Structure 1
Amino acid sequence: MLRFGINLLYRFYSGKWVEQPDLNAIPENVKRASEALCGVNLFTEEFQFPDKWISSIFSDISFRPVIPVGTYYPPNKIEENKIRFPSKIQGINKGNNEIAQRIKIYYDKLKENPDALLMILEKYGSFVPIGENSPISLYEHMKFLEAIRQCNNSYLLASADFSGIQSFIYTISSKGALKSLRACSFFLSLLSEHIVYEILKKQGLNRSSIIFSGGGSFCLLVPQNTQATLRDIKEKINSYFLHILGGKLYLGLVWSECEIEDLMSPNFRNKWAKIGNLLEEDKYKKFGDNLQDFLAVTMPKKLTNQDECQICHRDDCDVMEQLSDNGGQINVCHLCKEFFYLGDALTDYQYINRWENEPQIGYFLEIPSLNGNSYYWVDKKPNGTFHWIKNSFQPNDCWPSFTADYVTQDEKGDTADFQYLADKSEGKKLIGCLRMDVDNLGTIFSDRVDSNLFSPLALSALSKTLNLFFTIYMNLICEKQIDSPLLIQTENREERRPVSIIYSGGDDLLIIGAWNEVCELSLDIRRNFKKYVGDNEDISISGGAFLAHSKFPFYQMANFSGKAEEIAKRNYGKCIKEDCCEDYTKCPFYEPAPKPKCKRKDSGLLFYTPSREDKKRGLERDPKTKGRIETTLKWDEIECKVITPLENMYPIFKQNRETVISRSLIYRFFSLVDKWENDGILYLPLMAWVIERLKKISNAKVNSQIINLSSIVFNTKYMSSLYIPLTWLDLLKREGR
């Protein structure tokens, strides 16, 4: 089936077959599936590709009766070093002899390797349309048909999800934190790759059986005789989690038999809901197969004469080892020691290597497999019995692995620690911790009006497109390999942002770094995500940032930035009722109580502090002062209420940086914000005096900025959020730790 897909791909770009296909050899169930999915019969000489560009998968998502303006992709290859944004203009498909020749070269070399053929299809066929006005590409279509062929008329839908991820990663202390955090994140991704590989290898299947994999979950379409393999790998992995990781992680893995009709009709919505319910039930009963271990009556043991592991805090490990960290010695368990060294190895690698027997190398990760144990490590070169290639669509004799692994290195080439990142900040030397994720993704998957989106193909396409943004494209955003990255101050800037990705994949992320870089980065991420989804208002991203000193415990940073993200996700908008839907009460984004609200969030909370939120809640109780503090804003409001004032205030501050008045000027503005919050418009006379004073101490170079600033501070709609750009400016002004 994949060879036929390459034939079609070559025909699209060149107008002819790379080799004459045997159309009579195509199984009947595959033909029926193809016709049901795209409305045309691919397996005839008469089949013709659509004339127009393929539409974006996001163009098909709308909860309003009026379909949003479509966005489209021209046929081309996927590039690892460039974000592919959709166009609002739909063009005409044209051939490309250069791409056709590349396809033929790869095909002649790799035609016997189905996984390599799938990589060819993904690289060159992800933007090739197969049906009129359909967002499903030739790659997704042929991948799914190959999965159906492999099932041989016996279908099983399997879904998996890890629970306990936050407690596994975010409870790490600040000792060796960055290295260990990145290693833990990599380990979770590796576990997904390992489990999927074990299942497919055991059943003799290729990667086409993967509907999606990323963000700590995966879904497979496999034959029904895979059930024993699924039970076996689930038992082995969860036993490993219980005994080696202390039960911090759990693999929820469920499956359900289905018919071909369930995969090609609106019945898939019900099938997917059933799988989701089974998965929730499984996670509620986690380690149910290991009850004897929990119920066994044993006396507590202190297994070593050392205290707890100073990274993960476990004290029940057989062996504690000593590790050098920033000139000191810390006690760590064996797994944390492996993670510590893995963290440095992750700064520069290209391959994930796997061995079936214990390798003769310094460090490795040991994970239970169906036939004993498997061993993994990363390197610049391929090694072992199998390997994955990082962030590459290059067709080869391996599997691709997409990961957001951007990291800042210190002068020695090691993973930069918190202190190093804080010292890279402009002004106050602080760490910023940013968490973001896509809004209402469950609603998009479950309540989408058009059932055509709810098919395995669209599920695969949507998951892949999102995961692509949060992995290799996130690296590009952090590298500033984008148009017009946000730079509040332009002098003495690093070529690359001094930040490190702890985790990014699926639909969410956690990034830490120099505080000002993290705040700017949050805007860059949102701007590019908005462009990536074609300005679709029904698909948005929200997030929150928390700032702290470099010695602040990381788990608290993660906790507070998580609270900021939660608050941002509760920033519902005003329901526009009939302007949105004729029967707006049936809109999935409708929130009726206490007042009609819209769950479209698209919000950010920068500089989160609990005290500021407490003050806001206090003012909200009094109708007279309600609305005088805004800590969370829609991203478009942040652009005009935070970035615009800041871009006008910063040049004024920079010009008056050394004057006595400038050092107190920001605090004068803070006091006026405080007066606004307590007394309302009575702040205006004092604000007029401050602006006049500012004009006297400034030169003509910043007159335009002062005029713009005046129009902002005399407008009460800006005063509720002026605290945010003032905080930003104040931190830029301060020096030292």
Structure 2
Amino acid sequence: MKEQKLALITGALLHDIGKVLFRCHEGGKTHSESGSEWLKEIGISDKSILAQVKYHHSKEIHSAGTALSSDSLAYITYWADNVAAGADRRDNETEQAGKLYVRDASLESVFNILNGNKEANVYASGIMEDDGAINYPVSEKKTITPETYSRILDNIKDALKDMKFTEKSINSLLEILEANLSFVPSSTDNSQLCDISLFDHMKIPAAVASALWDYAEENQITDYKTAFYSKGSAFYDQPAFLLCSMDISGIQNFIYTIAATKALKNLRARSFYLELMMEHIVDQLLDQLELSRANLLYTGGGHAYLLLPNTAFCKDAVEGFRKDLNQWFLKNFGIDLYMAIGYAECSANELMNLPNGSYQKIFHRVSEKLTYAKSHRYTAQEIAVLNAQTQEEHERECIVCGRSDRLVSENKCEVCDALEALSNDIIEKDFIVILSDKPAEKALILPGNYYMLMENREQVRTRMQTEGSYVRCYGKNRRFTGENLSAKLWIGDYSSAKEFTELASASHGIKRLAVLRADVDNLGQAFVAGFEGKNTSLSRTTTFSRKLSEFFKLHINYILQNPEFSFGKDAPQRRNALIVYSGGDDVFLIGAWDDVIGFAIDLQNSLQKYTQDTLTISAGIGLYPEKYPVSAMAYETGILEDLSKCAEGKNTVTLFEGEHSYHWDRLREKVIDEKLDLINRYFAINHLEKGNSMLYKLLEYIRSLEDNKINLARYAYLLARLKPMQGDDEGKEKIYQEFSQNMYRWIKDENDKKELITAIYLYVYLNRSKEGEDGKADTN
């Protein structure tokens, strides 16, 4: 990366650092001037960086006079800041007062205005906690004190004072700003929406500025003052940018199509491998384009969005990158994996949604390009080569993935052998190391002839200092800074066991595994059109994406570690479960069956609170013996998830099989809190030796009522036989009356009857004393 471009990115990232100073101790200087002076005090002497911080507003540029040359980077940062501010700053319709800067104002929630919501919630804390605890938006007034800002400033100062601003450290600067400024508002003007964090506002100008610098260089624009200041408004219509989207096809089959042997390890490792591969692919492309992760708007679930320069060099590089990447996929994984890449040209006005609707149209154009790319995967020449391939005599099928390949040990291919070794490291080690040469240890291949290992902190330090093949590393669920540290990755890596047997054995009642597959409803629509009209902006969709990514990759671990729901008992200390995959909006989890249902309810409750009821989630939960094929578990639970997605209004969970499908509140309030609770209370007092057998018989009658009316009389007779004997205590008689009357009333209504059937299933599963005890209600 050229020195001037590096200085531009650094200056753009730091351009509003003075706002933190202003909120610490208000003074007579502008935040631009105080920010520049503070950076100089802590040892930053680069004049172009300091100029961008000091002169990124029109008034300051005008007063600078000859202090700024016509090719000063301050003009680019000024223009990029205007684009970001023009996209972000929208009138607050709930505020009637004039412009008033509230110095201690808290960050408003981006979900206040998502999907037609009209709330004014704020975040309770101004700093992200290291333990992954969830900072929920709240309705009561909160403030960020000067002491909090002072703590933030000290954190940034400690990280910056010894930093050498090189290409190797630019991503660490991003990490520092994200860690400290994600819950600090960019603007505290109460006449505007204040839902964009200072981190997001500082990141977007860096992305815009670096893309603009490339565009200007290719188009031989050297008079930045004229282009971006004197005539800067006219430049808003120039198609200087590309919105680029990347999407990996084949993820589901790659993860789930494995043999049962050591399935838990393989599932975890394969999903982690794909997650890391996507990050590596993004970083490889950004490296080729000499851009930073500021230009990465979103990544997760095999998808990514980037803001790139609209240059011939960039377009050629992206196309060449796509071809090389898919050739690598063909060589190593056949047609199992494929990367589609599409982009659309756009202007600053379109990024600012001018005119209204322009921003959404960019995404539609990108989506069309991706759809075309997916339907035209391979050239005629590539298809001919694929059809001509034959299996060599020395190749056999891998016992894990089934691919024909050279087997390296225990009848496993090289990739599956390395994935198995990776499985324990995912839990135990904090760094993912990328190398350009294959090490002696077991390592996984990555696109571009790179390799990955997981190591602890000391191993990474040693490798960075002694090994020339070291390229970069990623921190897992912990923030680190330093040279060639690409980013921290939030990873849903919660695990309470290493084998299916342990998870099944931890179940209450029936010893079964449950699989949860869940997905946010209508996320694509929310992403593109969730912010209506003038509120649509690049920063808001970026913030929205980041918040969801944090929830499903980071906070999900906290939800599992801190259970809340339980079936009428004390909540467990932690869930007996393992995350197979948790991406930008969806979850695949395996665990003890009762813990999986409990976690699903916790997850839905938490998401509802986190997004202020603006988003819903639909899920499928299947119940399986521990030796059931993993691919079949994934497939069948996927069908249950699809049934939930097809329900009216979605926001549904389907349990066990298709008939047990409910909106979440109905499952909690009607099935569990009402019907299961009554069954529990009845049997808690009336200890029947064959309680489950009696419930099975009742269930049989309930199911056959429509076909055999005489079973209604049998049902009533069986309930009558449960009446306590004369002389029993009053409590038994009271609960019997409640139980029998409701059991009879519920079968008269189709909804109540359906809920009662599910409640009986749950009770029986929770109270199965041993395997093989009258399995009539066992769906598997």
TM-score (norm: length of structure 2): 0.78
2:287 paired residue number:
201
Decide which of 755, 763, 767 is 1:729's aligned counterpart. 763
2:578 is equivalent to residue 529 of structure 1: no
2:38 is equivalent to residue 6 of structure 1: no
Decide which of 173, 181, 189 is 2:275's aligned counterpart. 189
Look up the equivalent residue of 1:728 and give its one-letter code. L
**Offset of residue 654 of structure 1:** 5.0
Decide which of 476, 499, 509 is 1:390's aligned counterpart. 476
2:211 is equivalent to residue 151 of structure 1: yes
2:106 is equivalent to residue 53 of structure 1: yes
**Offset of residue 631 of structure 1:** 2.2
Deviations along 1:165-211, whole A, 9 cap, x unmatched?
Answer: 11111111211211111111011111111111112222332211111
2:176 paired residue number:
120
2:22 is equivalent to residue 22 of structure 1: no
**Offset of residue 441 of structure 1:** 1.2
* Range moving further from structure 2, 687-696 or 462-471: 687-696
Deviations along 1:24-53, whole A, 9 cap, x unmatched?
Answer: 435242243144123499xxxx99567643
Q: Secondary structure at the match of 2:427?
A: coil
C-alpha RMSD of the superposition? 2.9
2:409 is equivalent to residue 322 of structure 1: yes
From the superposition, tell whether residues 564 and 106 of structure 1 become closer, same or farther in structure 2 (CA, over 3 Å): same
1:94 paired residue number:
145
| Contact 2:88–2:537 (CA under 8 A) maintained in structure 1 | no
Q: Distance in 1 between matches of 2:336 and 2:36?
A: 53
2:647 paired residue number:
571
1:165 paired residue number:
251
From the superposition, tell whether residues 110 and 11 of structure 1 become closer, same or farther in structure 2 (CA, over 3 Å): farther
From the superposition, tell whether residues 449 and 141 of structure 1 become closer, same or farther in structure 2 (CA, over 3 Å): closer
Decide which of 339, 363, 368 is 1:272's aligned counterpart. 363
Look up the equivalent residue of 2:679 and give its one-letter code. M
2:694 is equivalent to residue 665 of structure 1: yes
**Offset of residue 461 of structure 1:** 1.0
From the superposition, tell whether residues 344 and 257 of structure 1 become closer, same or farther in structure 2 (CA, over 3 Å): same
Decide which of 676, 680, 685 is 1:646's aligned counterpart. 676
Instruction: Please identify the structure whose Cα radius of gyration is greater.
Output: 2
| Contact 1:62–1:68 (CA under 8 A) maintained in structure 2 | no
Q: Distance in 2 between matches of 1:221 and 1:87?
A: 32
Q: Secondary structure at the match of 1:5?
A: coil
Q: Distance in 2 between matches of 1:51 and 1:722?
A: 52
Decide which of 655, 659, 684 is 1:606's aligned counterpart. 655
**Offset of residue 711 of structure 1:** 6.3
Q: Secondary structure at the match of 2:16?
A: helix
Q: Distance in 2 between matches of 1:124 and 1:191?
A: 27
Q: Secondary structure at the match of 2:115?
A: coil
2:375 paired residue number:
284
Deviations along 1:151-173, whole A, 9 cap, x unmatched?
Answer: 12532221101111111111112
| Contact 2:492–2:552 (CA under 8 A) maintained in structure 1 | yes
Decide which of 610, 618, 622 is 1:546's aligned counterpart. 622
**Offset of residue 473 of structure 1:** 0.7
Q: Distance in 1 between matches of 2:155 and 2:495?
A: 33
Q: Secondary structure at the match of 1:721?
A: helix
What is the correspondence of 1:79-478 to structure 2 with a 5 Å cutoff? 79-81=129-131, 82-95=133-146, 96=148, 97-110=150-163, 112=165, 113-131=169-187, 132-152=192-212, 154=215, 155-223=241-309, 224=311, 225-265=313-353, 266-288=357-379, 291=382, 293-294=384-385, 297-304=388-395, 306=396, 308-314=397-403, 316-317=404-405, 319-323=406-410, 331-360=411-440, 362-369=441-448, 373-381=449-457, 382=460, 383-384=463-464, 385=470, 386-393=472-479, 395-397=481-483, 398=485, 399-409=487-497, 416-448=498-530, 450-478=532-560
**Offset of residue 685 of structure 1:** 8.2
Look up the equivalent residue of 1:601 and give its one-letter code. K
| Contact 2:430–2:478 (CA under 8 A) maintained in structure 1 | no
1:618 paired residue number:
none
| Contact 2:258–2:400 (CA under 8 A) maintained in structure 1 | yes
**Offset of residue 434 of structure 1:** 0.7
| Contact 1:130–1:138 (CA under 8 A) maintained in structure 2 | yes
Q: Distance in 2 between matches of 1:50 and 1:678?
A: 71
From the superposition, tell whether residues 246 and 295 of structure 1 become closer, same or farther in structure 2 (CA, over 3 Å): closer
Look up the equivalent residue of 1:320 and give its one-letter code. L
Q: Distance in 2 between matches of 1:700 and 1:141?
A: 67
Q: Secondary structure at the match of 1:486?
A: coil
Give the gaps of 5 or more residues in structure 2.
1-11, 28-33, 38-52, 56-60, 62-73, 92-98, 216-240, 465-469, 772-780
TM-score (norm: length of structure 1): 0.83
From the superposition, tell whether residues 209 and 686 of structure 1 become closer, same or farther in structure 2 (CA, over 3 Å): same
Look up the equivalent residue of 2:250 and give its one-letter code. G
Q: Distance in 2 between matches of 1:724 and 1:270?
A: 45
Decide which of 106, 116, 127 is 1:77's aligned counterpart. 127
From the superposition, tell whether residues 257 and 311 of structure 1 become closer, same or farther in structure 2 (CA, over 3 Å): same
Look up the equivalent residue of 2:439 and give its one-letter code. P
* Range moving further from structure 2, 510-519 or 647-656: 647-656
Q: Distance in 2 between matches of 1:69 and 1:548?
A: 43
**Offset of residue 137 of structure 1:** 1.6
From the superposition, tell whether residues 719 and 294 of structure 1 become closer, same or farther in structure 2 (CA, over 3 Å): same
Look up the equivalent residue of 2:172 and give its one-letter code. A
How many residues in Structure 1 have an aligned counterpart in Structure 2? 655
Q: Secondary structure at the match of 2:175?
A: helix
Identity across matched positions, percent: 26
Q: Secondary structure at the match of 1:84?
A: coil
Q: Distance in 2 between matches of 1:693 and 1:246?
A: 63
Q: Secondary structure at the match of 1:377?
A: strand
| Contact 2:106–2:184 (CA under 8 A) maintained in structure 1 | yes
**Offset of residue 15 of structure 1:** 3.7
Q: Distance in 2 between matches of 1:691 and 1:121?
A: 69
Give the gaps of 5 or more residues in structure 1.
324-330, 410-415, 573-599, 614-629
From the superposition, tell whether residues 207 and 556 of structure 1 become closer, same or farther in structure 2 (CA, over 3 Å): same
**Offset of residue 518 of structure 1:** 1.0
**Offset of residue 295 of structure 1:** 5.6
Q: Distance in 1 between matches of 2:479 and 2:543?
A: 16
**Offset of residue 687 of structure 1:** 4.5
Look up the equivalent residue of 1:467 and give its one-letter code. S
Deviations along 1:118-154, whole A, 9 cap, x unmatched?
Answer: 2222122222223422422211111111101111253
